[in-house]
Amino acid sequence: MDSSLSPTPFDHQNTEPKKTFTTSLIPLRSNHFKEDTYFVSELKPSEAKSLHDLKHKLSTSSLAASSSMWGVPLIGGDDRADVILLKFLRARDFKVGDSLRMLEKCLEWREEFKTEKLTEEDLGFKDLEGRVAYMRGYDKEGHPVCYNAYGVFKEREMYERVFGDEEKINKFLRWRVQVLERGVKLLHFKPGGVNSIIQVTDLKDMPKRELRVASNLILSLFQDNYPEMVATKEEERKKKTVGAEVVIGAEETVYWEAMVSATDGDEYAYVLPGAARELATTIPFLTHRTKSKFVISKEGNAAETLYKFIRPEDIPVQYGGLSRPTESQNGPPKPASEFSIKGGEKVNIQIEGIEGGATISWDIVVGGWDLEYTAEFVPNAEEGYAIVVEKPRRMKASDEAVCNSFTTGEAGKLSISVDNSLSRKKKVAAYHYTVRKSTTAV
């Protein structure tokens, strides 16, 4: 049986000799996304009228009999239908005629693409799952998170296997839609509920020119068929130009599909390392509305960016989190404790109350490490000697979370140390642990 112990406060040590001080966890600034509630009562009179008119026109259209989307009947008074219809209306600035045409084309495409059964298909891309496009965890507001990383295609063999001809491209396109459909199934489609997805896009090593065709196809499908499926940030919404559309006019910008998703709606996305130069090239072609959709992470700063919106236990280890693919099969992740380390500080985490014979397992990560890490077990007995569990080692900036365990021979505490004394940079960090008591009878 697992049991968790509460650690004592952190011991922050200044680099000046003979000067120490103790403090509690430093709270990290938290940002959240705010999406529309989709309550009809909160609509402007003109917007409510557009929704009423769209329902009426849909009920008399040739597709009325088959107007169902994501398991929600669009005709019949279901409040989930209001959420979906409002997405199409907002995507077309509440212009009923344009919204209806978009909706009808989407219904036709879903029938032709057989999207309702797509999530259960085996498309033969098992090796891409968890690497290229995948759903993993939720943000702090409960939005499902989709990660996108196309750096694996810099290898020519992998590129040719997936994008070598038109048939392969179409198969990949079907798989990419499958990933998004699985994410959409996690949405509530309820007024006041979670009705959009968070996208995290990693542009590092992405072969932009080679992926031009696939990116354009994905962009086109997402624009036309998944309006407002990505969450938006409350502070930015007030600054947006309603109805603005994205103009992608340069060769360097065609690969922005995973960030832009449905460019006519209210989207928001994180962009991980490697994006700064590309965004600088792209920015002249983007409207203010579109620019406000991006959070750009600087090189080596992914963890600090993502921690503001997603809890570390839900962030993949390659981005400075604690989530590993195999752990998702064992139920919800164990909540992590977050803290920050100032430049010039050393932090000691003391986990006390560990009984003799117990096994303690822990994971710890510091965003952009570049510091020294060590762990030791200190017995409670005065005559006991500290046991070095992990020798001091310099962690590289690219290192993922440390995962380790130790079985005690006697009661004591585990002391985990991260030494940022040689850096001036403040860093975010997180850890979690479990203690399994011994089952051996005494």
Contact 224, 102 (CB under 8 A): yes
Q: Is the model's pLDDT at 277 over the cut of 70?
A: no
What is the predicted pLDDT for the residue at 149? 87
Whether the CA torsion 167, 168, 174, 177 is positive or negative: it is negative
- Per-residue model confidence (pLDDT) at position 7: 53
Percentage of residues in the chain with pLDDT exceeding 90? 54
CATH superfamily of 122-253+273-319: CRAL-TRIO lipid binding domain (3.40.525.10)
Comparing 132-141, 261-270, 422-431, the range with the smallest average pLDDT is 261-270
Average pLDDT of every residue of the chain: 79
Return the percentage of the chain with pLDDT > 70, whole number: 74
> d(Cα 364, Cα 386) in Å, to the nearest integer?
21
Q: Is the pLDDT of residue 287 over 70?
A: no
Instruction: Report pLDDT for 35.
Output: 64
Give the pLDDT of residue 32: 52
pLDDT tens, 363-412?
999 999 999 999 999 999 988 899 999 999 999 999 999 999 999 999 99
Question: Residue 337 phi/psi, 5° resolution?
Answer: -95, 130
Least confident of 76-80, 165-169, 237-241, 336-340: 237-241
What pLDDT, on the 0 to 100 scale, is given for residue 229? 78
The confidence band for 222, taking pLDDT boundaries of 50, 70 and 90, is confident
Instruction: Report the distance separating Cα 238 and Cα 308, nearest Å.
Output: 20
Predicted confidence at residue 76, as pLDDT, reads: 86
| Helix 45-59, helix 79-91: angle, nearest 10 | 110
Average the pLDDT over 143-148 and give the result.
89
- Which range has the worst mean pLDDT, 13-17, 133-137, 161-165? 13-17
pLDDT category of residue 3 using cuts at 50, 70 and 90: very low
Q: How far apart are CA 45 and CA 41, in angstroms?
A: 9
State residue 332's pLDDT score: 83
Residues in Cβ contact with 234 at an 8 Å cutoff, skipping those fewer than 6 apart: 32, 33, 34
Both tokens of 116, joined, read: 């309702």
The CA-to-CA distance between both ends of the chain, in Å, stands at 17
Q: Assess whether pLDDT exceeds 90 at residue 327.
A: no
- Burial state string for 68-92 with b = 16 or more CB within 10 A and e = fewer than 16: bbeebebbeeeebbbbbbbbbbbbb
Q: Does the pLDDT value for residue 221 go beyond 90?
A: no
CA atoms within 13 A on the CB side of 218: 26
* The predicted structure's pLDDT at residue 161: 93
Q: Look at residue 158 and tell me whether its pLDDT is greater than 80.
A: yes
* Count of positions (residues) in the chain: 442
Q: What is the pLDDT of residue 211?
A: 82
The predicted structure's pLDDT at residue 31: 54
Q: Which fold would CATH assign to domain 337-437?
A: Jelly Rolls (2.60.120)
Q: Would you state the pLDDT for residue 326?
A: 76
Predicted confidence band at 82 (pLDDT cuts at 50, 70, 90)? Answer: very high
* Exposure string for 7-18, b = 16+ CB within 10 A, e = fewer: beebbbbeeeee
How much is the pTM?
A: 0.80
**Res 242 pLDDT > 60:** no
Q: Where are the domains of the chain?
A: 40-113, 122-253+273-319, 337-437
- Give yes or no for a contact between 229 and 184, defined as CB atoms under 8 angstroms apart: yes
Residue 299's pLDDT is: 66
Lowest model confidence (mean pLDDT) among 80-84, 175-179, 204-208, 358-362: 204-208
pLDDT of residue 377: 97
CATH of domain 40-113: 1.10.8
Q: Angle at CA 184, nearest 5°, toward 289 and 220? A: 50
Q: What is the pLDDT of residues 247-266, one digit of tens each?
A: 112 222 333 333 433 333 34
Q: For 17-58, how does the pLDDT look when each residue is reduced to its tens digit (9 = 90+)?
A: 222 223 333 334 445 555 677 999 999 999 999 999 999 999
The full 3-state SS of the chain, as one line of letters, equals: CEECCCCCCCEEEECCCCCEEECCCCCCCCCCECCCCCCHHHCCHHHHHHHHHHHHHHHCCCCHHHCEECCEECCCCCHHHHHHHHHHHHHCCCCHHHHHHHHHHHHHHHHHHCHHHHHHCCCCCHHHCCCCEEEEEECCCCCEEEEEECHHHHCHHHHHHHHCCHHHHHHHHHHHHHHHHHHHCCCCCCCCCCCCEEEEEECCCCCCCCCHHHHHHHHHHHHHHCCCCECCEHHHHCCCCCCCCCCCCCHHHCCCHHHHCCCCCCCCEEECCCCHHHHHHHHHHCCHHHHCCEEECCCCCHHHHHHCCCCHHHCEHHHCCCECHHHHHHCCCCCCEEEEECCCEEEEEEEEEECCCCEEEEEEEECCCCEEEEEEEEECCCCCCCEEEEEEEEECCCCCCEEEEEECCCCEEEEEEEECCCCCCCEEEEEEEEEECCCCCC
What are the beta bridge partners of residue 39?
Answer: none
- Partnered with residue 429 across adjacent β-strands are 339, 366
Q: What pLDDT, on the 0 to 100 scale, is given for residue 10?
A: 46
Is residue 5's pLDDT more than 60? no
- Return the closest-CA partner of residue 346 out of 6, 30, 29, 23: 23
